[in-house]
C-alpha cells in the first residue's frame, strides 16, 4: 500500500506542482488549503507524512505543527515544512514547533523526493539485531551458548529478546529452559502470510527472564520439509517485534543453516580439537564468498582449556583470526544448570562461565548499537547531518 502524503498549503500552484511529483513516485496525495482542515484530515486519515506551509489563511503552520504533535496518533508522523519563508529564524521556529525537516520553496523535484523518502525511512521501526549461533560440530555447546547469550542480552539491555530454535525438530531449548511450549514453528507455517501480533503472542513462550522463545517441532514431528524461504518469512515477522534475535542452529551446513548464517551476524562456536578447527576454517572461507559479507564472524572457543586440547595460539594461527571469547571448561556446572533448566547467567552469574557469556553479550550489544547508529545516520533528515 503506497504511503499517503497530506499537503496543507493555500498556494494552489505549489500544491499542483508537488502533487504531480509525488504521484509520479507512487505516493497517494491528499490536500487542503487551511490549517484547521489539515488538522482534521490528519486525525481522520492518519497520513504517512505531512507537507506544511507556514502561511495559511486561518492559523499559521507553526500552530498547525504544534497542534498535530499534541495528538497521540500524530506524535511521530513526519512533518516537513515546505514554505516560501527561508530565514534562519523561520527554520528555527519550525523545528521548535516539532517539524522533522524544513524545505524552502521552490525546491527541485529530486530534492523533494530525497528528503521525503528520508523522513519516511526515519519513522520505519528499527529491525532487530539478529545473530545465528552455529557450532562447528555436534555437541560443541551451541544451544547452551545461544540460550545464555539470549538471557544475558535481556539482562544487560532490558530490551525485547527472542530466542529461536532452528533445529527444526528435536530442539532442546525448551528443556534447557524448563519451558513447555504450547506451540512451535510448525504452527506458523500454514499462516506465513497472515502473521500478526496476536499470533506472535500465542506462539512464543516467555521465559522467566523475559526472553521469548520460538520452539522447534518435537521429536514426533518431521521438520525436514521446512524451507529456507519459510524461515526467512518468520524472521521478517520476528525482526519487526524484537530488538535482538538469537538463533540456535544445527551444526550442519545445509541450505537452511546457510540461509540463516548469510542473513544474520554469525557466532561460530568451536572446541579446541582438530575436527572442530577444520570446520571453523571452512565456515570462515565460505563467508568470504557471500554476496554481502558479514562483519567479522564472532569466534567463541568453548570448553577451553581442556586436557589434550589444541592451545589458543595454534588455533588462532590456523584460523588466521583472533578468538573473541573463551568459555572455560566447567562441565559439572554446565550440566547442573541444564538439568535444573536454569540458564547459568541466572543461576551462577559470578561464575567464570557466566562471565564469559556476559562478555559475548556485550560484544553483540556493541555491534548492534554501531549498526543502529549507522542506520540512523543514513536515514536522518538532511538538515541534521
- CA-angle at 105, arms to 100 and 110, nearest 5°: 75
| Residue 120: per-residue pLDDT | 82
For residues 201-222, give the mean pLDDT.
83
Question: How far apart, in Å, are the Cα atoms of 355 and each of 152, 250, 293, 328?
Answer: 10, 25, 29, 10
**Cβ atoms 343, 147 nearer than 8 A:** yes
pLDDT at 122 over 90: no
Pick from 19-28, 156-165, 273-282, 373-382: least confident: 373-382
Average pLDDT of the segment spanning 135-143: 95
Band of pLDDT at residue 125, cut at 50, 70 and 90: low
What is the dihedral sign for C-alpha 335, 337, 341, 344? negative
Residue 316 confidence class, pLDDT cut points 50, 70, 90: very high
Calculate mean pLDDT across residues 216-236.
73
pLDDT at residue 107, as a whole number = 86
Looking only at the bridges linking them, the beta strands covering 212-214 and 205-206 are antiparallel
Q: What is the pLDDT of residue 381?
A: 43
pLDDT at position 382, please? 41
pLDDT above 80: residue 140: yes
pLDDT beyond 90 at 365: yes
Going edge to edge, which strands form the sheet with 28-32?
28-32, 4-8, 49-52, 79-83, 101-104
Q: What is the mean pLDDT of residues 92-111?
A: 88
pLDDT at 312 over 90: yes
Q: Which residues of 31-43 are buried (b: 16+ CB within 10 A; e: fewer)?
A: bbbbbbebbebbe
C-alpha cell at 187: 504452527
Q: CA 6 from chain center: how many Å?
A: 29
Cβ contacts of 177 within 8 Å, gap of 6 or more:
147, 207, 213, 341, 343
Which grid cell is 157? Answer: 539491555
Of 112-116, 326-330, 334-338, the range with the lowest mean pLDDT is 112-116
Report pLDDT for 223: 47
User: Which residues, in sequence order, are CB contacts of 249 under 8 Å at separation 6+?
Assistant: 132, 133, 134, 135, 142, 166, 167, 256, 257, 260, 261
Give the pairing of strands 205-206 and 325-326.
unpaired
162/296 Cα distance (integer angstroms): 23
Which of 8-22, 31-45, 143-157, 209-223 is least confident? 209-223
- For the segment 104-123, the average pLDDT, to the nearest whole number, is 82
Q: How confident is the model at residue 220 (pLDDT cuts 50, 70, 90)?
A: very low
What is the per-residue DSSP string for 273-314? SHHHHHHHHHHHHHHTTSSSPPSS-EEEE-S-S-TTPPPHHH
The mean pLDDT of the chain is 88
Q: Closest Cα to residue 185, out of 237, 128, 148, 143?
A: 237
Whether the pLDDT of residue 124 is over 60: the answer is no
Mean pLDDT of 330-353: 96
The answer to whether 216 touches 223, Cβ cutoff 8 Å, is yes
Express as a percent the part of the chain with pLDDT over 70: 92
Question: Residue 351: CB partners within 8 Å, gap ≥ 6?
Answer: 330, 333, 344
**Bond preceding residue 305 cis, omega within 30 of 0:** yes
Q: What is the pLDDT of residue 169?
A: 64
Greater confidence (143 vs 227) lies with 143
Is residue 126 very low, low, confident or very high in pLDDT (cuts 50, 70, 90)? low
**CA 118 to CA 273: how far, in whole Å?**
50
Mind listing the domains of the chain with CATH numbers? Answer: 4-124 (3.40.50.2300), 129-378 (3.40.50.300)
Whole-angstrom distance between the N-terminal and C-terminal Cα of the chain? 30
Give the pLDDT of residue 231: 87
CA-based max dimension of the chain: 84
pLDDT tens digit string along 274-287? 999 999 999 999 99
Question: Residues with Cβ < 8 Å from 285, sequence gap 6 or more?
Answer: none
**Sequence-distant (≥ 6) Cβ neighbours of residue 111 within 8 angstroms:** 103
Q: Is the pTM of this model over 0.85?
A: no
pLDDT digits (tens, 9 = 90+) for 72-94: 778 778 999 999 898 888 888 89
User: Collapsing DSSP states into helix, strand and coil, what is residue 6?
Assistant: strand
Mean pLDDT of 349-363: 98
C-alpha cell at 32: 487542503
pLDDT for the residue 255:
84
Task: Classify strands 101-104 and 205-206 as parallel, antiparallel or unpaired.
Answer: unpaired
Amino acid at each position: 500500500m503506497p504511503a499517503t502524503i497530506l499537503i496543507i498549503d493555500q498556494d494552489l500552484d505549489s500544491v499542483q506542482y508537488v502533487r504531480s511529483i509525488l504521484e509520479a513516485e507512487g505516493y497517494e496525495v491528499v490536500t487542503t488549503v487551511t490549517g484547521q482542515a489539515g488538522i482534521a484530515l490528519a486525525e481522520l486519515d492518519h497520513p504517512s507524512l505531512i507537507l506544511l506551509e507556514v502561511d495559511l489563511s486561518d492559523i499559521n503552520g507553526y500552530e498547525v505543527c504544534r497542534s498535530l504533535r499534541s495528538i497521540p496518533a500524530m506524535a511521530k508522523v513526519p512533518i516537513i515544512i515546505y514554505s516560501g519563508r527561508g530565514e534562519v529564524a523561520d527554520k528555527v521556529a519550525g523545528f521548535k514547533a516539532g517539524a522533522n525537516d524544513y524545505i524552502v520553496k521552490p525546491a527541485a523535484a529530486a530534492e523533494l523526493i530525497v528528503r521525503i523518502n528520508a523522513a519516511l525511512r526515519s519513522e520505519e521501526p528499527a529491525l532487530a539485531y539478529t545473530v545465528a549461533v552455529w557450532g562447528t560440530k555436534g555437541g560443541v555447546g551451541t544451544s547452551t551458548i545461544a540460550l545464555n547469550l539470549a538471557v544475558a542480552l535481556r539482562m544487560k539491555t532490558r530490551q525485547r529478546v527472542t530466542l529461536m530454535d532452528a533445529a527444526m525438530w528435536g530442539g532442546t531449548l525448551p528443556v534447557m529452559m524448563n519451558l513447555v511450549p504450547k506451540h512451535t514453528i510448525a504452527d506458523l507455517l500454514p499462516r506465513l502470510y497472515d502473521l500478526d501480533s496476536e499470533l506472535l503472542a500465542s506462539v512464543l513462550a516467555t521465559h522467566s527472564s523475559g526472553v521469548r522463545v520460538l520452539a522447534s517441532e518435537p521429536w514426533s514431528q518431521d521438520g525436514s520439509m521446512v524451507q529456507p524461504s519459510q524461515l526467512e518469512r518468520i524472521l521478517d515477522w520476528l525482526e519487526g517485534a524484537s530488538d535482538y534475535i538469537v538463533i540456535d542452529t544445527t551444526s550442519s551446513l545445509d541450505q537452511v543453516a546457510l540461509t540463516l548464517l548469510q542473513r544474520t551476524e554469525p557466532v561460530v562456536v568451536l572446541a579446541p580439537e582438530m575436527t572442530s578447527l577444520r570446520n571453523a576454517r571452512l565456515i570462515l572461507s565460505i563467508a568470504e564468498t557471500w554476496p554481502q559479507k558479514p562483519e567479522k564472524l564472532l569466534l567463541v572457543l568453548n570448553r577451553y582449556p581442556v586436557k589434550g586440547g589444541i592451545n589458543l595460539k595454534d588455533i588462532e594461527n590456523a584460523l588466521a583470526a583472533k578468538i573473541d571469547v573463551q568459555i572455560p571448561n566447567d562441565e559439572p556446572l554446565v550440566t547442573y544448570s541444564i538439568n535444573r533448566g536454569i540458564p547459568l547467567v541466572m543461576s551462577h552469574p559470578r561464575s567464570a562461565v557466566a562471565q564469559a557469556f556476559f562478555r559475548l553479550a556485550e560484544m553483540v550489544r556493541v555491534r548492534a548499537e554501531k549498526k543502529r547508529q549507522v542506520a540512523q545516520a543514513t536515514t536522518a533528515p538532511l538538515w541534521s547531518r
